[in-house]
Amino acid sequence: MEYNLTVTAGALVGLVALGTVALVVMGFMATSTVLMMVTPAMLVFGAICLALGVKHGEYRARSAR
């Protein structure tokens, strides 16, 4: 599997969608709370982790001699 921007964004959105659906179906908290607070927080956290992971991968690729 070749990772490019489309595949990476799709994986991130897919994971967040799966988590959102799971929280809504479980009835753990109100659907409005999940959609307005939890889902955006998952997206932001995922994007930050993705950016850190990409930068770490770039660092490893440069320093692996």
Judge contact between 12 and 47, C-beta under 8 A.
yes
Over 70: is that where the pLDDT of 1 sits? no
CA distance 31 to 29: 6
Q: Which residue has the higher pLDDT, 1 or 60?
A: 60
Query: For residues 19 and 42, is the Cβ–Cβ distance under 8 A?
Result: yes
- Segments making up each domain of the chain, as ranges: 5-63
53 is written with which tokens? Answer: 């992971």
Tokens of 63: 């320093």
pLDDT (tens digit per residue) in 10-48: 999 999 999 999 999 999 899 999 999 999 999 999 999
Report the pLDDT averaged over residues 39-59: 94
Q: Looking at residue 11, what DSSP letter applies?
A: H
pLDDT grade for 4, boundaries at 50, 70 and 90: confident
User: Contact 40/2 with Cβ under 8 angstroms?
Assistant: no
